[in-house]
Copies of this chain bind each other. A is one copy, B any other.
């Protein structure tokens, strides 16, 4: 058993696959979620159930990114629907992008890592089938890692450097679903939709739903979650 690792766990498909990977590696896991004012706050219920499924520690950090604004995920701005999947990652950054979100999340994770003396943070970032958010790219993650290693106190001599692990970075959505299947992750507990209805059913048309559906389709699997009836 290694020392405790931190996994950023949103309750979605990608971060749950990452949890499955860390779990399979036999690591002691602290799952970290953020209650940040997201309109799809229901994802936190998923994150909670998933950490219970894996019987791992779970910490939810409250912060309010609505104080910053500028995104359809935290403001009263409509979530775009039915976008063209092929244009997603190459076109301009969509309005669901939350300025600074990954940097703020990773900064908190870094602070927690420093406090519990952890030296590994897992994140589900990936750049093949994604919405084109700049703070998912490998060069960004590497730069964050470099910065973090200068930011942290050297209270403990010979402490290992902080490492940001993004095991899904170069997987397609189909490969992520296949990986999740192989690891038997609880797909039925995951939530991806940016704009669920009050019953928690997924819209099926936002970027996140479209990518998820593409993944299950490519993997030839049935998605067990509920979508709004058309």
Do B104 and A100 touch (CB < 8 A)? no
A158 at the interface (CB under 8 A from B): no
Docked Cα-Cα span, A9 to B59, in Å, equals 30
Do A70 and B103 touch (CB < 8 A)? no
Known: A134-B150, A144-B147, A147-B140. A99 touches B114 (CB 8 A): yes
Do B67 and A62 touch (CB < 8 A)? yes
Pick from B59, B99, B112, B146: contact of A111, CB below 8 A: B99
Contact with B along A190-208 (1 / 0, CB 8 A): 0000000000000000000
Number of this chain's copies in the assembly equals 2
Do B107 and A111 touch (CB < 8 A)? no
Known: A70-B115, A143-B147, A143-B150. A107 touches B99 (CB 8 A): no
Known: A92-B155, A108-B68. A147 touches B99 (CB 8 A): no
Taking the nearest CB of chain B, how far is it from the CB of A96, in angstroms? Answer: 11
Docked Cα-Cα span, A4 to B135, in Å, equals 24
Contact with B along A149-165 (1 / 0, CB 8 A): 01111110000000000
Question: What are 22 of the A-B contact pairs (CB < 8 Å)?
Answer: A62-B67, A65-B111, A68-B112, A68-B115, A70-B114, A92-B155, A93-B155, A99-B110, A99-B114, A99-B115, A99-B153, A100-B111, A100-B114, A101-B111, A102-B151, A103-B107, A104-B111, A137-B150, A140-B151, A143-B143, A144-B147, A146-B146
Contact residues of A with B, CB < 8 Å?
Answer: 59, 61-65, 67-70, 92-93, 97, 99-104, 107-108, 110-112, 114-115, 133-135, 137, 139-140, 143-144, 146-148, 150-155
